[in-house]
Amino acid sequence: MTGARPADEPPRGRTSVLYDRPWRVEITVRPGVTLPLSRAALARLAAATLTSAGAPSPASLGLIFSDDTELSDLNREAMGRSDPTDVLSFPLLPPSAYPPHPGRPAPLAAGERRSSPGREPPPARYAAPAFVLPPGTRPHLGDAVISVERARLQAEQGRGGQTGDRRWEPADEVRLLVVHGILHICGWDHAEAEEMHAMHALERRLVGHS
């Protein structure tokens, strides 16, 4: 799920900055939250996901690992829903900043029309971020907030995975939520069948489970 993140207090908890060129990954772990895998492994997974999604680089990304309470508050403020959720994404660039992917074709140029069925589509094109940063500054792509509490519960109760019926290790559920959240930041969605199937296939490849 994605939304415009509301202004709030500065991040609480310990933040680590890890580099996996060309990416800068900021990992924040809220007080009382224990990660089921290392920060280095999370940074590598984030880097692989950004690369696979064709994110503009070099760039930075934030991963925040929290609990159901914070995710419930964010879900209410950003999405207007009162229930907790497992991951929320807050992209800072529009989908047009990323390459097209199955179910999400390239945006049309002014005056351009989609090709008729059976004809080749126009060449893919996408827009780079439409702003200039100071030299040496990386654009921040956005933040994904994951409830480790909910990830553990879903994994242990057999409500994990893409279909919500998988029992596996909490670390696997956290990996899936990280990939899922980052893909949302990179303009992916799962409202339409074609894009959902492509997104799920990419998630399986990145998480390493069939």
Contact 25, 60 (CB under 8 A): yes
Across 106-203, the runs of DSSP E, i.e. the strands, are: 140-147
DSSP 162: T
Residue 95, token pair as written in the block: 């989908």
Backbone angles phi and psi of 108, in degrees to 5: -75, 145
Give the pLDDT of residue 137: 75
SS3 210: coil
Give the pLDDT mean for 176-205: 95
Give the pLDDT of residue 204: 95
The tens digit of pLDDT for each residue in 106-137 reads 654 445 444 333 333 333 333 444 455 555 67
Give the pLDDT mean for 138-167: 96
Give the pLDDT of residue 123: 36
Between CA 93 and CA 184 the distance in angstroms is 11
Helix segments in the chain, DSSP class H: 39-52, 68-74, 148-156, 170-185, 193-207
Higher pLDDT pick, 129 / 36: 36
**pLDDT surpasses 90 at 33:** yes
Give the pLDDT mean for 64-82: 93
Residue reference for tokens 């890890």:
18
Backbone angles phi and psi of 28, in degrees to 5: -115, 130
List domains and CATH numbers for the chain.
14-100+135-207 (3.40.390.30)
Amino acid found at 124: A
Give the pLDDT mean for 200-209: 92
Q: How confident is the model at residue 1 (pLDDT cuts 50, 70, 90)?
A: low
Strands 23-29 and 14-20, by their bridges, are antiparallel
Give the pLDDT of residue 55: 97
Between CA 56 and CA 181 the distance in angstroms is 17
Give the pLDDT of residue 104: 81
